[in-house]
Structure 1
Amino acid sequence: MSKYQESNLNFDFKGAGWTVVKYDEHVAHGKISNVVKPTKAVDFLGIYNDKKLYFVEVKNYRGHTSDPETKEVLKAGGEELMRRIAVKVRDTIAGATNAARFSTNEKDFFTRINEILLNDAEKVVVIAWIEFDEMNENERKTKMSVWQQKLKHKLSWLHAAKISINSVDTANGILPETDITFA
């Protein structure tokens, strides 16, 4: 069982099948980001039941959707936000490869990530967990659908990937054996 808090959201990976690291705070990411700037990272990197690889990025804009900086990131149909998430996935893969080769911290975990990445039979799952001030339900669904298509396009190089954009309101079953709540 692993419990983490990110952007005022609680993630409780309850199942025994989970192996999860808070990758953006992990020493493997730190070794790269200290010398190659900017290097980005997803919030969580996890393996479920030793075969399914998850990249999870969390963005919580609730209460800040009208801020100028947030508006800039969300404009143009979320193009910039999806670009930033795709860069985090790309840099995380590079970091996980390095960690499998040279890490003394959780080397087996990072080696398994690379084995899954190289297995064409397994889909890699990328989840962008995005919270924003509510608008009407139809607008919210439309926006999240557009963002999901943009992220799929930006990650099309990551063959056999399953891309998902979610919020706490749509949390059921997205991350198996995981509870997500507001802090």
Structure 2
Amino acid sequence: MSNFQESGINFKFQSPKWNVVKYDEHLAHKKVSNALQPTKAVDLLGIHDNRQLFLVEVKNYRGHTHDAETQEVLLAKGEELMRRIAVKVRDTIATVTNSARFSTNDEDFFTRINQLLLDNQKKIVIIACIELDIAGEKEHKARMSVWMQKLKQKLAWLHAAKISINPIENISAVLPDTEILFV
């Protein structure tokens, strides 16, 4: 069982079937990002049941939805936010491909990630966990639907991917054996 906190949200991976790292803070990512700026990464990188690769990005704007910086990111129907998430996915995939070569403590993990990335029979699951201050559920669902289409367009190059954008109450449906709560 592993616990990770990101942006005020706790991810509790409740099954031994999970192997997860906080990739944006992992040494393998830092080696690349220190040498080549800017290099971005998703928050969580995991393998479930040694068969399914998950990339999870968390954006918690609760209490900040009306801040000027957040408003700038959310402009144009989320175009900038989806671009930022797509860049993180792209950079994560680019950096993990070589992590098995130089990661001294997680070589097996990164080797398995590379195997899953190259296996065109396996879908890569991309999850964007986005929290906003939204009054109406209907408005929230509509926004998430538009954003998901934008993210799918930006990640169309990533063949065999399942892309999901959800608030935390819906993430458990796409992230198995996981409990997700606000801290």
TM-score range, shorter chain: over 0.9
Q: Which residue of 2 aligns with 1:154?
A: 154
Deviation larger for 168-177 or 52-61? 168-177
Q: Which residue of 1 aligns with 2:10?
A: 10
Q: Note if 1:27 corresponds to 2:27.
A: yes
Gaps of 5+ in 2: none
Residue by residue over 1:93-132, the C-alpha shift from the partner in whole angstroms, topping out at 9 and shown as x without a partner, is: 1111110122212011001001001001000000000000
Q: Which residue of 2 aligns with 1:142?
A: 142
Q: TM-score, normalised by structure 2?
A: 0.98
Q: CA RMSD in A?
A: 0.8
Q: Which residue of 1 aligns with 2:37?
A: 37
Rounded Cα–Cα distance in structure 1 between residues aligned with 2:30 and 2:168: 29
Deviation larger for 95-104 or 77-86? 95-104
- The residue type paired with residue 19 of structure 1 is N
Q: Which residue of 2 aligns with 1:123?
A: 123
Rounded Cα–Cα distance in structure 1 between residues aligned with 2:172 and 2:116: 25
8 Å Cα contact 1:20/1:46 also seen in 2? yes
Q: TM-score, normalised by structure 1?
A: 0.98
Rounded Cα–Cα distance in structure 2 between residues aligned with 1:33 and 1:143: 32
Q: Which residue of 1 aligns with 2:61?
A: 61
Superposed, 1:34-113 pairs within 5 Å as: 34-113=34-113
Report how far residue 60 of structure 1 moved. Answer: 0.2
Query: Would you identify which runs of 4 or more consecutive aligned residues in structure 1 move more than 6 Å?
Result: none
**Which secondary structure does the structure 2 equivalent of 1:130 belong to?**
strand
Q: Note if 1:179 corresponds to 2:179.
A: yes
Rounded Cα–Cα distance in structure 2 between residues aligned with 1:122 and 1:171: 20
8 Å Cα contact 1:77/1:146 also seen in 2? yes
Rounded Cα–Cα distance in structure 2 between residues aligned with 1:117 and 1:23: 16
Gaps of 5+ in 1: none
- The residue type paired with residue 52 of structure 2 is K
8 Å Cα contact 1:28/1:105 also seen in 2? no
Residue by residue over 1:112-171, the C-alpha shift from the partner in whole angstroms, topping out at 9 and shown as x without a partner, is: 001001001000000000000022111000000000010011011110000000112323
Q: Which residue of 2 aligns with 1:169?
A: 169
